[in-house]
Structure 1
Amino acid sequence: MTVAAASAAPGLVNAQTASNVTLYGIVDAGVEVINNVAGSGGAQGTVTRLNSGNLSGSRWGLRGTEDLGGGLKGIFVLESGFDIDTGLSGQGSRLFGRQAYVGLQADIGALTLGRQQNALYDLFGAYDPMGVGPRYSLNTVDSAFNNRADNAIKYTGKFGGLTATAFYSFGRDNNGEVPGSPKAGRNFGGGLAYAAGAFSIGAAYDQYQGGTVALEDRSARRAAIGTAVTIGDGKVFAGYRWLKDDGTGSATAAPVRSNVYWAGAQYRFTPAFLLTGAAYYTDTHNSDADPWMLVLSADYSLSKRTDVYLNVGFAKNKSGSSLGLNGVGTVVPGENQTGATVGLRHRF
């Protein structure tokens, strides 16, 4: 839905400027059956539940542009995530938890200020067979692929097939910006992606410091590379992520070193029917807790904006690992997990 207007503020401007605002969103819900789920009081077992956000996080948003002349535009995005099963706001009950920024855009790129996606999120939806969705995806294995940074300055430029992005946050997750301690909560990163015809490749780096003065010298560093190649009606994907976390979560958190490898493929049998398969493997250093996750997804488009889907997944854990189909820690440690979701998604 788009609203276009030409407006002038008497006494403030001498000419009218064209502007537009677009209302957009996604609503995604499904019924999931999944086993070995840990509950309160030590309970565990199989659960049947309604989930919001399976292939895509449910959201609504406003985006706008204003032509300032000379190839320069003013831009903004306000994007709110929510759980359709409860109506509650997502991202820690934030009003605009997905994105909230204002900026300027020109031929050389855009400079924006506010709460924004990191470089991993910006680029790697193109290299994960499951599109870094909320569940049963690369985001399940490492939630940093869906991270955002508060208090961020960001640059994004597109030059033909090349996309470049870089950002700096003075304090992520509503932390940081501490007088005399500029490292606390600091987050920065960047990435490059290149697409030419059927081939695309991208790489990104992300680093953040602990969110308090006591943890500011501890960092979590990630680097990732991914690629995708279209072959006729099919597409193949592969990627790798490196992690070194010095224990940013708490004063008692142990350092973590791990690698994640993934591969998968899609095939479009008809213009409406898409089948996707993916495999993810985590190699944790100095540990045998190295889980696998396998996913199969069938998606059928009822129209350009509405589709139905079936996701089936299996997570294999060992030596106390706890990778569930909905994220790390969503399964009884050391137990395998099998799940399936039937859902409906609508875009507007």
Structure 2
Amino acid sequence: MRKTKSARIKLAALLCTAAGTALAQSGVTLYGVADVGVEYLSNAAAKGSKGSAYRLSSGNMSTSRWGLRGVEDLGGGLKAVFDLESGFNLDDGGQGGNRLFDRSAVVGLAGDFGQVTLGRQTTPLYDTTIRLDPMGFAPRYSLFRSDAVLAGRADNAIKYRRSVSGLTVTALYSFGRTGAGEVPGDNKVDRSLGGSLYYENDTFAAGLVYDEYQGTSVAARNQKDRRVALGASYAFGPLSPYAGYRWLNGDVGGEVRSNLYWLGLRYKATPALSFSGAAYYTDFRNSNADPMMFAASASYVLSKRTDVYFNAAFARNKNGSELGLNGFNATTGAPNSVIPGRNQTGVVAGVRHRF
């Protein structure tokens, strides 16, 4: 009887040790960002009227979102990884899109070979250009507002990524970027692919990326949009200048040929106070409708997780161009659209909390 009881105690202790080891090797993290502020826009077209707009806006410096990220140690240096991320609106409590996990839904394997993930995920174009934008893709106002595809995601995608000595190599192939693909007998429909090289050390960063996708129907399968982007930044102590360029040649949804240029600065005045500013210029071929946008931001850190900010921007439109501070060629009547050919001024002040 004593031996049986002793054996049970030893077995229980062994199971507790094994469970503790498993928990130490695996884990799931709940994370997110809650960002909201008050915004003013001039020359805005909303709800059938045209004039100034005042509103509470969610996701100004960072998109408000929550997610679950996990990793499991499989042994031998191999790990299973997953990421599920959903955007939401703090102003009304609604979802950021029409999907539960609109921002990310992936699972994959990682090891010495790098990382391979499958599902809905950011493109190499997104991963690279967000690091080359001095505004860091702030939802209001930044580089991707001059080209929304820069902040793209792809459904049905396989993605490979590996980093060695500061150099990150990324490649992606999607069987159906928007979900319209994967058509039996025709693998061109909605197909997307891309690749990037990004190098970063303590003071210097540079990136080069290629992105391509095709039409979303059988009739448009041979239409193709291609983009190439490159840029760099260099840190001189607390001051970091940025420069970048994006080339576009496409005919998906209409022929577009354009060049997008940007310059900017980041300045860390104190450990808590930082500033950033940028200028973006879009040059359309065979057109004089070449808009510009200027943006500036100030952020003050209150704690490790919370900061307050103030952003201001100005979009210059001419010859009918429609660059709004919250989106280029925004749908007429949307709260963030601009009256065609009119300039737009915007300011937003808010608070951001990370968890």
Please give the range of the TM-score, normalised by the shorter of the 2 chains.
Answer: over 0.9
TM-score normalised according to structure 1 size: 0.92
AA aligned opposite 2:86:
S
The answer to whether residue 246 in structure 2 is matched with residue 241 in structure 1 is yes
Equivalent-residue separation in structure 1 for 2:323 and 2:313 (angstroms): 12
Equivalent-residue separation in structure 2 for 1:84 and 1:156 (angstroms): 33
Partner of 1:326: 326
The answer to whether residue 190 in structure 2 is matched with residue 182 in structure 1 is no
Q: Deviations over 1:153-209 (max 9, x none)?
A: 000101011001000000012211111121111111010001133011001111111
Q: Could you tell me whether the CA contact under 8 Å between 1:259 and 1:283 is conserved in 2?
A: yes
The answer to whether residue 131 in structure 2 is matched with residue 142 in structure 1 is no
- Structure ranking higher on relative contact order (CA contacts 8 Å, 6+ apart): 2
2:53 equivalent among 8, 26, 47? 47
**Over aligned residue pairs, what C-alpha RMSD do you find?**
1.5
Q: Could you tell me whether the CA contact under 8 Å between 1:263 and 1:280 is conserved in 2?
A: yes
Compute the displacement of 1:39 (Å). Answer: 2.2
Equivalent-residue separation in structure 1 for 2:195 and 2:216 (angstroms): 20
Aligned pairs for 1:192-211 (under 5 A) are 192-211=197-216
Compute the displacement of 1:93 (Å). Answer: 1.3
Partner of 1:68: 74
Q: 1:7 to 1:44 in 2, by over 3 A?
A: farther
Partner of 1:313: 313
Compute the displacement of 1:7 (Å). Answer: 7.4
- Give 5+ residue unaligned stretches, structure 1: 9-14
1:28 equivalent among 22, 35, 38? 35
Equivalent-residue separation in structure 1 for 2:302 and 2:148 (angstroms): 30
Q: Secondary structure at the match of 1:126?
A: helix
Q: Could you tell me whether the CA contact under 8 Å between 1:297 and 1:309 is conserved in 2?
A: yes
Q: Deviations over 1:70-122 (max 9, x none)?
A: 100000000011111122212x3110010010000011200110001001111
The answer to whether residue 129 in structure 2 is matched with residue 124 in structure 1 is yes
Equivalent-residue separation in structure 1 for 2:296 and 2:285 (angstroms): 28
Partner of 2:285: 285
Q: Secondary structure at the match of 2:128?
A: helix
Instruction: Report % sequence identity.
Output: 56
AA aligned opposite 1:103:
G
Q: Secondary structure at the match of 2:132?
A: coil
Equivalent-residue separation in structure 2 for 1:243 and 1:87 (angstroms): 36
Partner of 2:4: none
How many matched pairs?
Answer: 331
Report which of the two has the higher share of helix: 2
Q: Could you tell me whether the CA contact under 8 Å between 1:132 and 1:145 is conserved in 2?
A: no
Runs of 4+ aligned structure 1 residues displaced above 2 Å come to: 5-8, 15-18
- Give 5+ residue unaligned stretches, structure 2: 1-15, 330-336
Q: Deviations over 1:198-257 (max 9, x none)?
A: 0110011111111111111111111100111111111111100000111x23xxxx3000
